[in-house]
Amino acid sequence: MKILLVDDEMALTQPLSQVLGREGYQVEVAADGQTGLTLGLAQDYDLLILDWMLPHYSGLEICQQLRCQGKQTPVLFLTAKDTLDDRVLGLDAGADDYLVKPFELRELLARVRALLRRSPNWDSGLLTEPAGVDGLSLDADNQVAYRQGRMINLSDKEVQLLSLFLRYPQQLITHEQIYQCLWPEQSSPGSNVIAALVRLLRRKVEAEGEPALIHTVYGKGYRFGQQPPS
């Protein structure tokens, strides 16, 4: 998932982009409104995080321009402006959420996760059949996968998880992204639930003698696809 962070405070953008990166997001940073607007119009992001007060164009003007051009990318404002009138102005400009500085990091990450569930890129991607990867393909409608000529029966959650892996081969899929995909409207289950589900899927798609496809990235999540020899 790609995030554009537009803020001119380096003391904020550097640590925040690192935290978001550790969560598995791809983060690009713009330090002024002109660059932020140019990137926001030219590229497809899953989320924009905008400061209000910026050189050249304000975050408010960026949001208005994006909406005028038909961009529906979710927008989160980070700003020191904390009056009711300011919040109403930001939301009326097309922002989806508003967080006042200083903020708690846990709250920011929770709001990011909630907004990414609305991302048109994320939603549309889940509706299309993913391509096969390294000799493994998925027939989601019939809840089966195929590898090396053998048919693999899957449960509902295994289909959803494998579909997510196939859609983003060789990319880090974090625990939070798995929660968002498999349990979007429910409270997140315990971390051992994901580990158990991955273990069951591994047993099915990685028969004896076949190269491993699901690789644990300890403390973060998983990466799918054959790994080159070390």
Q: Where are the domains of the chain?
A: 2-124, 129-224
Q: Give me the phi and psi of 183, to 5 degrees please.
A: -135, 60
Per-residue pLDDT tens over the stretch 69-85: 888 889 999 887 777 77
Confidence band for 128, pLDDT divided at 50, 70 and 90: very low
Q: Say which CATH topology domain 2-124 has.
A: Rossmann fold (3.40.50)
Q: For tokens 């391509």, name the residue.
A: 131
List the Cα angle 164/167/76 in 5-degree steps: 75
- CB half-sphere exposure, 68, CA atoms < 13 A: 8
CATH architecture of the region 129-224? Orthogonal Bundle (1.10)
For the packed helices 59-68 and 84-92, what is the interaxial angle rounded to 10 degrees?
30
Count of CB atoms situated within 10 Å of the CB of 220: 15
Indicate the burial class of 148 (C-beta count within 10 angstroms; 0-12, 13-18, 19 or more).
exposed
Residue of 143 and 120 predicted with greater confidence? 143
Per-residue pLDDT tens over the stretch 31-44: 999 999 999 989 88
Instruction: Measure Cα distances from 91 to 4, 71, 160, 191 in Å.
Output: 19, 15, 34, 35
Per-residue pLDDT tens over the stretch 192-217: 899 999 999 999 999 888 899 999 99
Residue of 30 and 114 predicted with greater confidence? 30
CB 222 within 8 Å of CB 198: yes
What's this model's pTM, rounded to 2 decimal places?
0.55
